């Protein structure tokens, strides 16, 4: 079998055929560094990571590029609010972002590219678009004329309304606002000291042109894979395609892969609902970052995933149990070809990681199987769960099972049983603390 991926552009699972045999150019939209990345954002970076690791597992050489959006509407506003320079402001969040990636065992991309370092590339791209008649100057900036680009909206399956002549300056807008969008925003007082004096005027780039310029700078005018979560299909990726293809006359990206959203029980994770969760929050509750990684791997990357503490607890139980069983496995220096083949098949089917996890579990549970240790090592190159590292076992799964049992007893007001279970956990060397967020457990 060969690798098949779901391509948003064609809305089909397609066989993956890179432009250059054996080599994959892959671009992922990186963070806008104006705040901490929440665990929803991090789900998407976990998806990028196992996509890259899967491609490497299948034998491809991957050149992975990720940008850092360090200038846009939100970063400028944020730095002004904190009364620090744009650079000081964005660097702080960038550092925290990479700490989070590291904690989640996400491999750093081969190239990390900052918008503020690529202004000349953006200006050159805009100049090209002006020359070819796709861009025009208005009083507040330079805009892309969507009427001029024949296939505008194809990625998002939208029908263009040719009668629209309005413009939109904001970086983010919704489908009802299919309008000419800003490539370059002329300087206004609100921008403070953030501007570049260039041939196309004093100002700053729009968000969409940033990714077109940065991806093509490293990967060339056409490349294989572009990723993000579903929210980026419109307008961001739609506009990236328009700008890039209008400028080069070539196909920009062959395969568009979009990850599903992480949502809360009550719906979207948003500041206004006060339900935004960061990695630091779940660590404070006693979870290990890789418990969260495990949780993400239990859902297909395109499916929505609902975050609840119960789901995370259940992921932690499985993950810790898995690690405990693996810690007893000896290395017989063989590999289990059948199991590895099944694992590969799951990956090749549009990265079916939940299925791949099941294959791992079957191998681990199979008492007669040979070559377990080396096969797990190979599988973990994709899963990234540090399965063979003993030091990441914090609290054994058996202890969590008792803690969960006690929680249930408490819910049922069975105080006697709850006390007995607490005592049992105590005797085994662990301590339970009841907090307003539920029971926390640690080694005494």
Interatomic CA distance for residues 387 and 213, integer angstroms: 39
Residue whose CB is less far from ligand AMP, 195 or 261: 261
Q: Is 29 in the site for Zn ion (CB under 5 A)?
A: yes
Residue whose CB is less far from ligand AMP, 228 or 235: 228
Residue whose CB is less far from ligand AMP, 33 or 360: 33
Q: Distances from the Cα of 314 to the Cαs of 398, 403, 443, in angstroms? A: 13, 12, 20
Q: Is 44 in the site for ligand AMP (CB under 6 A)?
A: yes
Residue entry with tokens 């719906």: 267
Q: Distances from the Cα of 10 to the Cαs of 15, 239, 259, 416, in angstroms? A: 12, 17, 16, 60
Q: Is 172 in the site for ligand AMP (CB under 6 A)?
A: no
Residue whose CB is less far from Zn ion, 203 or 235: 235
DSSP secondary structure letter of residue 431: E
Interatomic CA distance for residues 390 and 35, integer angstroms: 34
Q: Is 229 in the site for Zn ion (CB under 5 A)?
A: no
Minimum separation from the CB atom of position 48 to Zn ion (A): 12
Give the residue, chosen from 3, 29, 129, 409, that forms a contact with ligand AMP under the rule CB under 6 A: 29
What residue 31 binds from Zn ion, ligand AMP, none (CB within 5 to 8 A, per partner kind)? ligand AMP
Interatomic CA distance for residues 13 and 187, integer angstroms: 44
Residue whose CB is less far from ligand AMP, 232 or 253: 232
In the stretch 237-266, what mask flags binding to ligand AMP with x, by CB under 6 A? ------------------------xx----
Strand partners, 28: 66, 227
Residue whose CB is less far from ligand AMP, 28 or 317: 28
* Order of strands across the sheet that contains 111-114: 111-114, 61-68, 23-28, 223-229, 253-259
End-to-end CA distance of the chain: 51
What residue 211 binds from Zn ion, ligand AMP, none (CB within 5 to 8 A, per partner kind)? Zn ion
What residue 41 binds from ligand AMP, Zn ion, none (CB within 5 to 8 A, per partner kind)? ligand AMP
The pair phi, psi for residue 104, each rounded to 5°, is: -90, 10
Give the residue, chosen from 3, 8, 43, 215, that forms a contact with ligand AMP under the rule CB under 6 A: 43
Cis geometry, peptide bond prior to residue 174 (ω within 30 degrees of 0): no
Residues in contact with ligand AMP by the rule CB under 6 A: 29, 31-32, 40-41, 43-44, 228-229, 231-232, 261-262, 269
């Amino acid at each position: 079998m060969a690798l098949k991926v779901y391509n948003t552009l064609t809305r089909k699972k397609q066989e993956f055929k890179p432009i250059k045999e054996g080599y994959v150019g892959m671009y992922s939209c990186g963070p806008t560094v104006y705040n901490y990345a929440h665990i929803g954002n991090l789900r998407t970076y976990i998806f990028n990571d196992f996509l890259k690791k899967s491609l490497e597992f299948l034998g491809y050489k991957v050149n992975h590029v990720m940008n850092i959006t360090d200038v846009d509407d939100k970063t400028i506003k944020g730095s002004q609010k904190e009364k620090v320079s744009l650079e000081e402001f964005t660097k702080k969040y960038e550092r925290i972002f990479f700490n989070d990636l590291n904690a989640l065992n996400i491999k750093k991309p081969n190239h990390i590219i900052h918008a503020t370092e690529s202004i000349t590339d953006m200006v050159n791209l805009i100049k090209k678009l002006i020359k070819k008649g796709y861009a025009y100057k208005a009083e507040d900036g330079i805009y892309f004329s969507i009427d001029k680009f024949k296939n505008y909206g194809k990625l998002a399956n939208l029908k263009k309304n040719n009668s629209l002549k309005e413009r939109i300056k904001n970086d983010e807008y919704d489908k009802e606002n299919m309008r000419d969008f800003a490539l370059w925003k002329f300087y206004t007082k609100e921008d403070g000291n953030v501007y570049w004096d260039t041939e196309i005027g004093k100002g700053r780039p729009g968000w969409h042109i940033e990714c077109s310029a940065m991806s093509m700078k490293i990967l060339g005018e056409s490349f294989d894979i572009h990723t993000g979560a579903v929210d980026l299909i419109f307008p961001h990726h739609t506009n990236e395609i328009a700008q890039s293809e209008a400028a080069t006359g070539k196909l920009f990206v062959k395969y568009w892969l979009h990850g599903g959203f992480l949502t809360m029980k009550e719906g979207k994770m948003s500041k206004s609902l006060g339900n935004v969760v960061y990695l630091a929050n779940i660590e404070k509750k006693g979870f290990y970052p890789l418990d969260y990684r495990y949780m993400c791997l239990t859902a297909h990357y395109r499916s929505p995933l609902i975050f609840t503490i119960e789901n995370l607890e259940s992921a932690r139980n499985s993950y810790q149990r898995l690690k405990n069983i693996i810690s007893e496995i000896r290395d017989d220096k063989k590999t289990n070809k059948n199991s590895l083949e099944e694992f590969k098949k799951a990956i090749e089917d549009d990265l079916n990681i939940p299925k791949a996890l099941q294959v791992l579990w079957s191998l681990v549970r199979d008492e007669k199987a040979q070559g377990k240790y080396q096969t797990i090592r190979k599988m973990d190159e994709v899963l990234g769960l540090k399965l063979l590292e003993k030091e990441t076992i914090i609290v054994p799964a058996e202890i969590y099972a008792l803690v969960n049992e006690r929680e249930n007893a408490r819910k049922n007001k069975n105080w006697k049983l709850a006390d007995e279970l607490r005592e049992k956990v105590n005797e085994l060397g662990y301590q339970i603390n009841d907090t307003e967020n539920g029971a926390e457990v640690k080694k005494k």
